[in-house]
Chains A and B, each alone.
Chain A
Amino acid sequence: MSKRTILILKAVVHLICLTPFFWLVRFYTSGALELDPDPVAYITHFTGDWALWILLSSLAVTPVRRLSSRISWLIRFRRLIGLYAFFYASLHLATYIFLFSGYDLPTVLTGVRAGHLSIVLDEWKIVWPTIWDDVLKRRFIQVGFLAWVILLALALTSPASIMRAMGGKAWQRLHRLLYLAGAAAVIHYWWLVKAGVRTPWKVTAVLTVLLLARLGHTVLKQRRGSGPELHTTRI
């Protein structure tokens, strides 16, 4: 595949991944968000859903690419998609901190417009004890935060220069933590829905398939790898 084609396809992936974000901005600027009964819950679910879906998409790249050698170029988009999972997970976390926790965003925005920048920190000082209390008490927040911390670590180590500095093996080992992040995100979802709600089953099924595909690939590779070896020992 030519460099030019890759560049165009990358632009397309950027556009696709940014579409939900621009859609949300448009939803707000058009006034539709304030017609929604619970805008904060809406943004929370919207950013959380997209973070998880895009994370699963990035996990899907490798199994899909293995289906045929003709689509091995897909690997070039994996990091890009993974970074967008981090982007939406960060929006999700920011929604929790600035809209959900009691942080008085309207007052802060009014203050900032009037030139009182210190209000950003003052309001933070008011809410952080309740946020900290929330994090300590609730396991669904802890496991969700773990997923975000993993995504942060992977995002920070994503540039090629850092990969070279770390060495391919170490880098790959670290980036396998994405499996853990995916599992943590899905558990986060299960732990926050109320009793009897089964909506997270779809993402759970997708994650399971994606992880099993990896396991299957590894097992197959080992069998193929060990076959000739056994043969040689027999001779």
Chain B
Amino acid sequence: AQALSTAPGKYTTSENQTPFAKATHYNNFYEFGTDKSDPARNAHTLKTRPWTVQVTGMVKKPQTLDIDTLLKYRPIESRIYRHRCVEAWSMVIPWDGYSLSEFINYCEPLPSAKYVQFVTLLDKKQMPDLPGGYDWPYSEGLRLDEAMNPLALLAFGCYGQVLPNQNGAPIRIVLPWKYGFKSAKSLVRFHFTDKQPKTTWNEISSQEYGFYSNVNPQVDHPRWTQSRERRIDSSAFPRTIPTQMFNGYADQVASLYNGMNLKRYY
């Protein structure tokens, strides 16, 4: 894969990194199949060049941006984040990108914009295994102040190379304090709005997947506890470890939710 030139970022962890092979062969990217081994097998049909990203909605000037312009817009940092899936497994992954806030500032949202929605590519030609029964394209979103938090990353790579297709090439979001499905992949549109946007999993099953979906060991998923997680590492019997509030990023993000009942806004 193509290497990226990166500088070490300020976010890191001393925890053991998940091996590259596991982080790239255990993916939820339903557009390429619903089994976690499917995307690594099928996502080669994704064409990542040419690639453009649309900026729409409540912005000073709606526009279409080329991926290579975005890639060069700011220096690429390497940040090592914990990644907690809503399915109670977790990884430690070095992502490469820059803060989402830099990009949002570039978009110049209007003062009336309160939310930003991320929309994933939808192309049946590139996604021949697209499963039925879902309201495609995949869509996620954040409150604008969440999106402006420096921890929110606009990623172009991981492990020092451009994103493998199954990990969301050529551009994705990484939100380490939220369950993994919030971190939408292969983005083609950023839509700024004053209403909470519809998000894919929340639409499918709102009692299982909330709009916020902050990692929270006190709020169980209906089918399993969220108080612990299986850390995907290099061993055959990985340890099950306790899950931390906001996935261990409370110092950076807890203030975003002051006064909110997180059992209600899960």
Residue tally, chain A, CB below 8 Å to B: 30
Q: Chain B residues near A200 (CB, 8 Å)?
A: none
In the complex, the answer to whether A196 meets B223 with C-beta atoms within 8 Å is: no
In the complex, the answer to whether B230 meets A105 with C-beta atoms within 8 Å is: no
Of all chain B residues, the one with the shortest Cβ separation from A31 is B236
In the complex, the answer to whether B208 meets A194 with C-beta atoms within 8 Å is: yes
Asked if B195 is at the interface of the complex by the 8 Å CB criterion, the answer is no
Asked if A38 is at the interface of the complex by the 8 Å CB criterion, the answer is yes
In the complex, the answer to whether A38 meets B234 with C-beta atoms within 8 Å is: no
Q: Chain A residues near B234 (CB, 8 Å)?
A: 34
Q: Chain A residues near B239 (CB, 8 Å)?
A: 104, 106
Q: By DSSP majority rule, is chain B's interface helix, strand, loop, or mixed?
A: loop
Q: A140-B223, A197-B34 are in contact. Are A33 and B236 (CB under 8 A)?
A: yes
**Chain A min CB distance to B262 (Å):** 19
Q: Chain B residues near A40 (CB, 8 Å)?
A: 230, 237-238, 240
Q: A105-B237, A140-B223, A192-B223 are in contact. Are A38 and B230 (CB under 8 A)?
A: yes
In the complex, the answer to whether B228 meets A102 with C-beta atoms within 8 Å is: yes
In the complex, the answer to whether A133 meets B237 with C-beta atoms within 8 Å is: no
**Chain B min CB distance to A32 (Å):** 9
In the complex, the answer to whether A137 meets B237 with C-beta atoms within 8 Å is: no
Residue from the list B204, B238, B240 in contact with A39, Cβ < 8 A: B238
Asked if B21 is at the interface of the complex by the 8 Å CB criterion, the answer is yes
Q: How far is the CA of A40 from the CA of B22 in the complex (A)?
A: 14
In the complex, the answer to whether B237 meets A99 with C-beta atoms within 8 Å is: yes
In the complex, the answer to whether B89 meets A41 with C-beta atoms within 8 Å is: yes
Lowest 3 CB-CB distances: which A-B pairs, in order?
A37-B26, A34-B236, A37-B22
